Structures are given as structure tokens and as C-alpha cells.
Amino acid sequence: MKNIFFILFILTSYSGYTQQCDNVLKGNIIDFHDNSALENATIRIIGTNRITISDNQGEFTFKNLCNSVYELEISHVACKTKQVTLEVAGDTFKSISIEHHIEELDQISIKGTSKTETKTAQETILKSNVLERYSSLSLGDALKEVSGVSSLNTGNTIVKPMINGLHSSRILIMNNGVRQQDQEWGIEHAPSIDINNAGQISVIKGSGALAYGGDAVGGVIVLNPSRIINRDTLYGKTILGGQTNGRGYNISTSLNKNYNTGWFAQAQGSYKRNGDFKAPDYNLTNTGLDSKGFAARVGKRNFESGFELHYSYLNNEIGILGASHIGSVFDIARAINSGQPLLIRDFSYTINAPKQDITHHLAKANYYKRFRGFGKVAVQYDYQYNKRLEFDVRIGDRRNIPAIDLTLQTHSILADVDLDANLDRKINFGVLGRYQNNFANPDTGVRRLIPDYDKYEFGTYIVTEWNVNDKLLIDAGIRYDYSRIDAKKFYRTSRWEERGYDVDFADIVIEEFPTQLLTNPIFNYHNFSATAGLNFELDKTNSILFNYSLASRPPNPSELFSDGLHHSAARIELGDLRFNKEVSNRVSLSHKLNSKRLNIVSEIFYNRINNFIYLRPFAFTLTGRGPFPVWAYQQTDAELYGIDLTVTYEINDKLHYLNKSSLTKGYDLETDLALIDIPPFSTFNQIKYTNANWYNFSAALKSEWVFEQNDFPDFNFEVEDQLTEEMVLIDISTPPPAFHLVHFYTEATFSLSQKTRLNIGLGVNNLFDTTYRNYLNRLRFFADDLGRNFTLQLQLNY
Amino acid sequence: MKINYLKPNFMKTSKFFINAFLSLAFVASFTSCSDDDENPEPVNEEELITNLTLTFSNIATPADVVTMTSVAPDGLEEGMTTENVSGNFTAGATYALSLAITNASETPADDVLNDDIIPEADEHFFVYGVNDLNLSLTRDAGDVDGPDGTKLGVNTTWVAGDASTGNLQIILVHEPDSVNDSNPFGSATGGSEDFNITFTGVSIL
């Protein structure tokens, strides 16, 4: 239809050839987001030298135009130049909108400073130049760059991020706009994310980012891919690395093709491999890793509209220290008393049981459109497929059958609206729907750790941001989430009765077997969360941020349904069907000092968590493997508080000093016990020399000092050696002593051609080959942590 | 002045909302019917050991038998066990020990000893222990070969010494790092214990 009109129009303009060219084109230039008039915009008719400027009403006029098609070019300070094609047929009026506030609206930074996800929360951004140095490592390793963030490790390749002492289900991870769903409740389940895929990471302490979820009692981690540039360009990056400890090597490469029309395509792949790591005195047998990742994005991104299709794949095969495979508390006692692993072999790349094999697929499609004088509307659908296989030490043909075989599939749809017509009072609201299915394969021959379940979630939120004046910004938001879990869970009849479920939950039994019961627990949770905060600039160098967040988290499947032996911990773990949601009230106060040479960020927080769910020793049971401690999830009231400090000081142009220190305390208020696995006080000091004139050379000496955790719950226990009838103390609580490590890193960048740069980085971790064990490494009972490691990394940008 | 208003944005806007809504509804309906309501099957636990029986038979007097049993209906691994000892050893007598390790949760009962442990004898090792009990043993020449040139400990001969009462322990170690049977009771480092059972109140009369 359009074409026909166009042809007709051309014909009429030809037929009017004799007509005089005395038409008037009148128009106005308005700001897209709020319809306000834009003064002093330059309007040029392309192909002519006719130029005019809009007046204070945003209006402009061209006289003496023919009936024809004209192309206009509109430019304005700090706006993207826009071209408009229009037809003049007689006197014509045209309203043209251009956007003057792209930076504020689109989270695009022109000045090189990164946009934060929140305005009043305690947020830190890690940019690509920092992330690139972690190419051979994991997400959890990189996040430790942030003061107050530590990690809970199982060995050195299973690294779970921990924010202010909280981890697992209490941390929400957003991977390119998709909430990561990968059995994150598990203490040995590291996020299935390839760090090479992230262009920038925001770490938000507490639950201040309500648009992402209301249950982030600990914090939110937001990974964003690298930014799209609207320009005809093709560029790429390849990172090659090698490490002596573990004889590791890694390669990561990415290619980007962009067009000035907004079309873009990106592809990225990475491969990492290492064999057995080494502690200063021995090999850590069976600690190899084989990791393959791939990701691709394609789409169109313009100011007014855009879409994106994204797919990513990650497969990690992770060996778990062979010596950590234990069968009884006597095994663990022997491991602790021997002081070194009871299984040490020569170096090998082979990964045997115990091991994990995790595959994660993520696909998403989103679309957004901006409406003039209104804001931005975005819709998204995403799908995740997570397959977790855990192989245990087994016998016979079962050797190659995993002991855990879980398939978790998640579909989410969401719609989000940003009302930003008034830049001083933005409103963001949205809705979310999610369906999740967990399937536990019964072919493992091992009772299901987590039952089959369907989970339905619905969420809605509204957050607002108010620039009161130049110095004061206030934000606030509320969110409601509904969550329903519908599980099919087998219980041993003996356990069912022992837990008293036969009295409280008799109605959910749907089938009876000789020694087992099939039950159908269905639980509904209604969760409210809220946040409010302010950001106040005291003067040019000082600002203060205050934030209050209320978060509610429903119990996760493991807290509800666990019932059985946790092999690597030599304990029986029990969930509780009676649990209610966990509610956290967190207040935080930050002070930022930004002066010419000195920068200080001090962050304090207090987090009071009611109905806090955690595992605690509960009883003993005598089994065919001797006595086993039974740990049960308990609901209690807890408090956590602490302070995180980041100081940078420019001694002179070339010499920089950095300090990061963090202190966290956590207590169970009902038992007056310290919480388990709270990071001890740590302080990190770095002195760095840089010389921009000499190939961007830099060299940094780093000191990492982790104190002994003196505030720990004493969960030690004594068991009777039945043969000798003597009592044996099992010390599973005493934290390892403090340790001090020194690291060194140096790099330089060489220009190979106009568009090609080569960055060479050389590092030594644990320079003095210090022997140490880390309180937050769950394998600390069995082996020392890593010894010295030389690393070499070549990065080619082209 | 004649003015031509160009095509308003309005139509596009409403079309977008309708499309967005329809696609959301489509996705929602797709996800909600991907589920079926069939009940999952119970897992058939394959690695279970529910019954352990030690039968000591007097070589000279076949009627003189000492039997020790350990029963755990939910499996020795994490279930509650019940130990039972019947009969007493006779001082000075020699006994042949016969082991039975089964999974009675399956019908017929699964012979774990002969189907799983003996075929993988190089990854297993039996360790015995006594306390306050004058029992000694030898690993028979015909015993199954265990790891690193040792004897597994399935076929053993026991000699009862002076009268005494005490405890007898049997441990099955899986994938030990090193084993030693120079003392026939046996010892192992590393690996994990598949079971660790102690019978109390065993007597030699």
C-alpha cells in the first residue's frame, strides 16, 4: 500500500512539474522522551546548502519548496544526528523528535564511567579490564575483587560467591537479563556461568535491586554482556593463557560485527583445561577441570526500539579431590588427623569420580520499544536447561552411572515498563511469570536428593527514583511475589514417622510402597519485599548513601525436602516441610569520598533475618558405618553486620596504593552461637606502579592477609569407637590459622598495528609457596590450599 | 495554509501492545501444558547392603556354630542397624568364617558379596578387629586376591584362645589407598568405609 501511495505521489509531483515551488515546510523539533521543545537544533536539507535553526518553541520553517521528497538532517548538541525523509505536498507540517538524554535513558555511558543498576544500594562495578584477568578462573574468583565479597569453595574450581557472609539461594544472579536457575541452593553448586561471557558485572549488597527479585537476602550479581556500538565495525578479542599449577591452559575468543543501522551479531567461545593442582607439598589428586563455553547474540539495537536473541552454552566437568571421598566419621577423623590427603598420585589430567558434570543452556528473546513522551516498554521470554550429573565412587557397572542426575528447566516471561518522560521522577514497573520443572532421574540407583517438582512464580514490582534536587536522590520500591511448589517426594516410612510427618502431613501421602511413601507436598508462599533509600551529595568530594531493604525468601527445595546422607560431609541432612519464608530487614549506610588523590568507600550494614534457615547438628544415628551426625535445617532468628572498606590513594602519577578490608559478624540469636562459614576479617593491600608512556606498563605487588576466624560455632563431637569403646573427638569446627599470601602481577600492551593491540600479563600467585588452609574451603579437612602458580596471559584485541 | 498531518504514531503503538500481549499469552499457554501428572517411580536402591551375616563353623565339630548378624532394612549406609550374636566360641577350637552380604530389599535378595565385591576384589579390603577377645585369624591360602598382592579377607580361619568376652569388628573398605595384611587382621589407609560393624558381647567359653 505504502509503495502505491509513494508511486502515486511521485507521479503527482511529476504531473505538477509546471507548478511553482512556493510551498512552506513548517516543523518543530521535540525531545523524544518528554515531548519538550528543543531549541537551537540545526536542520539541513541534504543535497542543498539550506540550513535553519529551531527557535525557542523548537519550531523551524523552510520556504519555497517544491512538491517533492526531501531528506532532512537534524543535529543538536549531545544528541545523535537524525535523518528524516518527508514528502512536501503543498504547505506541510512535520513534527520531528530526537532524543537529547540518551545517556540518562539508555544506561549508555559516553564518558567511560559505568552506569550502576541501583542508586542507593551498596553497589560495585567490575569492568572488562578487571574481568579479563580472570579469564582462566571462575565468576566467584573475580567477584572477590569487591570488598565484602568472599567465596565458599569446594576445592579450587567450585567457587560459590558469598556476599557479606551469605551465599547460595540468598544470592540472585542475573545473566544478561535472565535470572540464573542452576540448582543454586547447593553448597557445592557453583554458578554455571562463563566469566568470559561478561562485559561488566555489578555486585549489589542486599536486596536493593527489586526489579530482579525480592528474595535476594544476601545480594544481587548482575552480569551484562559487552556494549553494542551503533557503527559499522568488526572487532574481536582473543585471550590465551597458561598456568603452571595444574598445568592449565585456556583460550577465549570473541567476534563482534556491528552496523550503524543498529544491527549487531556477537559470538564468543572459550575452553579451559587443567589437571591436578598442587599444594606446596603434594599433588591434589583428581582436581582437574574441563570447561567449554559458547555464546552468541544477534539483534538490532536503536534508541527507539530493538530486539535481541541470545543463546549460551556451558559444560563443566569438575574433578573433586579424591581424598575427600569418605564413608564414615572415622574416615573424616583419619583425614583430619593425618594432616595430608590420604590419596596422592602423580600429576594427571584425568578426571575420575568423585566429579561433577554440569551442562547449562540459556536462550532468550527480548524486544523493547520507546514511546514518545512516555517511556520504554520491554518484553522478554527466556528458557534455561540445567543438567547436573554428580559421579560418586561406586562399584561394578554403576561406576559410570551418576549418583545425582537432575534436569532443571525454567521458562520465564516478563514485561517491564520504564516511565522516564520526567527524568527527575522515573518510575519502573513490571510483571514476571515463571514455570520451573525439576526432574530427578531414578536410574541413578540412589534415592533422589531433590524430588521431582513443578514450581510456579508470579511477581510484580514498582520502583521509583526521584531527583529531589542536584544533591539529593531518593528511591523506593515495592514488590510482591507468589511462589507455589508442587513436589512428588518419596520418604522412607521410618523417616516419615521419625519427623512426625505422619501426624502433620498424613493427607499428602498419595501412594504406599513396602518401605517408602510417595507424598505430594504443595506449598504456596506470598512474599512482600520493599526498598527505600537516598543518595545525598554533601559537597564536591563527599556523598552519603542510605538504604533500607526488606526481602522475603521462600525455603528452597533442599531446605524443605533434604533427607539423606551427604557423602562428602559424612553427615545426614534433613529438611523440614514445616518451614515458612525467611524475612530479612537490612539497613546500610555508605560514605564515599572522592578527592583528587584519595578515594575512600566505607560501607556498613546490619541485616536482621527472621526465620533464617540453616543447617545445624541435631542428633546422632548409629548406622552400619558407625555413628553419623544428623544435621537438620533449623529456622531461627539471625543477625549479620559488618563493614567493608575500599581505599585508593595516588601517591604520585605512577604509584598507586589500594586497600580493601572487610569485617563480617553473624549470630544465631536463639542459641547465641556464631553462624557457621562467616568469612574471617581480611585485608588486601596493593602497591602498583604504572607507566603509560612505556607500553602501558604496570606492575603490582599484592598482599592478602586472612585472619583466623575466632567467632565460630563449636559443632565438634565425640563418637565411640565401638571396638575399643573409647571416645574419639571429631574436630570439624576449629578454623585453620591465619595466613598471609603475596601475589605479583605485571602487564604491558603493545600496538601491533593501528587496530591490533597485544597485552601480555605475567603473574605469580602465592609467591612464597605458603602452606595454608582456608576456613571457607569445604575441603580444608583433607588438604592444603594451592601452592605457587605462575600465570601467563596474552590478549589480542583486533 | 494547507497542512498535511503525517501518519500518526498511535496506530503503531496499539499494534505493538496487542502483539506483545498475544506473544506473552502464547508463551504462557505453551509452558503450562508441558507438564504431565504421572507419579514418579520409586528408586530401586542398587548399592544397598541390608544384611551382613558372619557364620563361624567349628572345623572339628560341625554343630558348634557362632553366628553374628547385622540387619538394616534401610541399608547399612545410613539406616539404623540391629546386631545380634548367637552362640559362643569354644576355647582352643578352630573355626572357618563364612560371610554373607546381601541386599534383601530386592526379591530375590541380591548377593552383594559374590556379584559386586568379589569381582572387584582389587578395590576392596576386609579389616577385622577384636578387643578383649582372644581370637586370632589367618587369611586362607585359597582366599580371594585383594589389592596389591594381599588377601581380600573373605575366606579366613579363626582360632579361639582362652576364655574371654569382648568385641569383634568387621570393616569393608572401598578403594583404599594402601592396604596391609602382614597382620592378618588387616589395615588400610584412605578409601571409604562401606560398612563398619562391631558386635559386642562376643564370648569364648
Q: What are the tens digits of pLDDT across the range A356-408?
A: 999 999 999 999 999 988 999 999 999 999 999 999 887 767 778 898 999 99
Q: What is the pLDDT of residues A601-610, one digit of tens each?
A: 999 999 999 9
Q: What is the distance between the alpha carbons of residues B185 and B128, in angstroms, rounded to a whole number?
A: 5
Q: What is the distance between the alpha carbons of residues A71 and A85, in angstroms, rounded to a whole number?
A: 4
Q: Where are the domains of chain B?
A: 51-204
Between A584 and A617, the higher pLDDT residue: A584
Neighbours of A506 (CB within 10 A): 10
Domain at A223-797, CATH homologous superfamily = TonB-dependent receptor, beta-barrel domain (2.40.170.20)
**pLDDT, position B17:** 52
pLDDT-derived band of residue A109, with 50, 70 and 90 as boundaries?
very low
Level-2 CATH architecture, domain A2-100? Sandwich (2.60)
pLDDT-derived band of residue A106, with 50, 70 and 90 as boundaries?
low
**pLDDT, position A419:** 92
Closest to A328 (Cβ–Cβ): which among B23, B32, B196?
A: B196
Q: What is the pLDDT of residues A157-189, one digit of tens each?
A: 999 999 999 999 999 999 999 999 999 998 899
- Tell me the nearest-neighbour CA distance from A144 into chain B, angstroms: 34
Residues in chain B closer than 8 A to A331 (CB atoms) = 191-193
- Tell me the nearest-neighbour CA distance from A724 into chain B, angstroms: 6
Question: How many residue contacts between A and B have a Cβ separation below 8 Å?
Answer: 178
Q: Can you tell me the mean pLDDT for A578-585?
A: 96
What are the two backbone dihedrals, phi and then psi, of residue A530, each rounded to the nearest 5 degrees?
Answer: -155, 160
Its ipTM equals 0.73
Q: Nearest-CA residue of chain B relative to A571?
A: B78
Q: What is the distance between the alpha carbons of residues A764 and A768, in angstroms, rounded to a whole number?
A: 9
Between A725 and A695, the higher pLDDT residue: A695
Beta strands in A117-218 (DSSP E): 122-127, 149-154, 158-163, 166-167, 171-175, 178-179, 200-205
CA angle A283, A284, A287 (to 5 degrees): 135
Q: Can you tell me the mean pLDDT for B67-79?
A: 85
**pLDDT, position A8:** 44
Q: Which three cell numbers stand for residue A683?
A: 585485608
Q: Which of residues 112-141 of B touch A (CB under 8 A)?
A: 115-117, 119-120, 123, 129-131
Residue A621, chain B, CB below 8 Å: the answer is yes
**pLDDT, position B97:** 95
Contact: B40, A518; criterion CB under 8 Å: yes
Q: What is the distance between the alpha carbons of residues A402 and A448, in angstroms, rounded to a whole number?
A: 12
Q: Are strands A219-224 and A171-175 parallel, antiparallel or unpaired?
A: parallel
Q: Nearest-CA residue of chain A relative to B40?
A: A488
Q: Can you tell me the mean pLDDT for B49-73?
A: 93
Q: Where are the domains of chain A?
A: 2-100, 105-222, 223-797
Asked whether residue A639 carries a pLDDT value surpassing 50, the answer given is yes
* Mean pLDDT for all residues in chain A: 91
Q: What is the pLDDT of residues A57-99, one digit of tens each?
A: 889 999 888 888 888 888 888 777 888 888 888 888 888 888 7
Q: Which three cell numbers stand for residue B103?
A: 541386599
Q: Can you tell me the mean pLDDT for A687-701?
A: 95
**pLDDT, position A771:** 97
Level-2 CATH architecture, domain A105-222? Beta Complex (2.170)
Asked whether residue A736 carries a pLDDT value surpassing 90, the answer given is yes
Q: Can you tell me the mean pLDDT for A736-757?
A: 95
Q: Nearest-CA residue of chain A relative to B106?
A: A514
Residue B175, chain A, CB below 8 Å: the answer is yes
Of the candidate ranges A239-243, A260-264, A482-486, A677-681, the one whose mean pLDDT is the lowest: A260-264
Asked whether residue A293 carries a pLDDT value surpassing 90, the answer given is yes
Q: What is the pLDDT of residues A417-446, one digit of tens each?
A: 999 888 889 999 999 999 999 999 998 888
**pLDDT, position B76:** 78
**pLDDT, position A116:** 84
Residue B183: CB partners within 8 Å, gap ≥ 6? none
Tell me which amino acid residue A757 is. R
pLDDT-derived band of residue B3, with 50, 70 and 90 as boundaries?
very low
Neighbours of A29 (CB within 10 A): 28
Q: Which of A473, A621, A490, A470 is nearest to A540 (CA)?
A: A470
Q: What is the pLDDT of residues A471-486, one digit of tens each?
A: 999 999 999 999 999 9
**pLDDT, position A259:** 93
Residue A467: CB partners within 8 Å, gap ≥ 6? A423, A424, A425, A473
Q: What is the pLDDT of residues A341-357, one digit of tens each?
A: 988 999 999 999 899 99
Cell 559424612, residue located = A570
Q: Can you tell me the mean pLDDT for A305-322?
A: 95
Contact: B47, A398; criterion CB under 8 Å: yes
For A733: left if phi > 0, alpha if psi spans -120 to 50, otherwise beta; the answer is alpha
| Alpha carbon distances (Å) from A600 to A225, A588, A643, A661 | 28, 16, 13, 12
Asked whether residue A494 carries a pLDDT value surpassing 60, the answer given is yes
**pLDDT, position A396:** 67
Buried b (16+ CB within 10 A) or exposed e, A31-57: bbbbeeebeebbbbbeeeeeebebeee
Q: What is the pLDDT of residues A503-548, one digit of tens each?
A: 999 999 999 988 889 999 999 999 999 999 999 999 999 999 999 9
Residues in chain B closer than 8 A to A722 (CB atoms) = 167, 169, 198, 200
Q: Which three cell numbers stand for residue A149?
A: 565479597
Tell me which amino acid residue A256 is. N
Omega of the bond prior to A354 within 30 degrees of 0, cis? yes
| C-alpha Rg value of chain A to the nearest Å | 30
Asked whether residue B42 carries a pLDDT value surpassing 90, the answer given is no
Q: Which three cell numbers stand for residue A662?
A: 572487610
Query: Mean pLDDT highest for which of A13-22, A96-105, A761-770?
Result: A761-770
Q: What is the distance between the alpha carbons of residues A688 and A553, in angstroms, rounded to a whole number?
A: 42
Q: Which three cell numbers stand for residue A280?
A: 606446596
pLDDT-derived band of residue A700, with 50, 70 and 90 as boundaries?
very high
**pLDDT, position B9:** 45
Pick among A282, A304, A340, A395 to test the B interface (most B CBs inside 10 A): A395
Pick among B18, B29, B78 to test the A interface (most A CBs inside 10 A): B78
Contact: A342, B177; criterion CB under 8 Å: yes
Q: Does A105-222 match A2-100 at the fold level? A: no
- Tell me the nearest-neighbour CA distance from B64 into chain A, angstroms: 25
Cell 588400610, residue located = B188
pLDDT-derived band of residue A16, with 50, 70 and 90 as boundaries?
very low
Q: Which of residues 416-455 of A touch B (CB under 8 A)?
A: 433, 435, 437, 440, 442, 444-448, 451-452, 454
A722: helix, strand or coil: coil
pLDDT-derived band of residue B22, with 50, 70 and 90 as boundaries?
low
Residue B44, chain A, CB below 8 Å: the answer is yes
The residues pairing with B192 across neighbouring beta strands, listed in sequence order, are B174
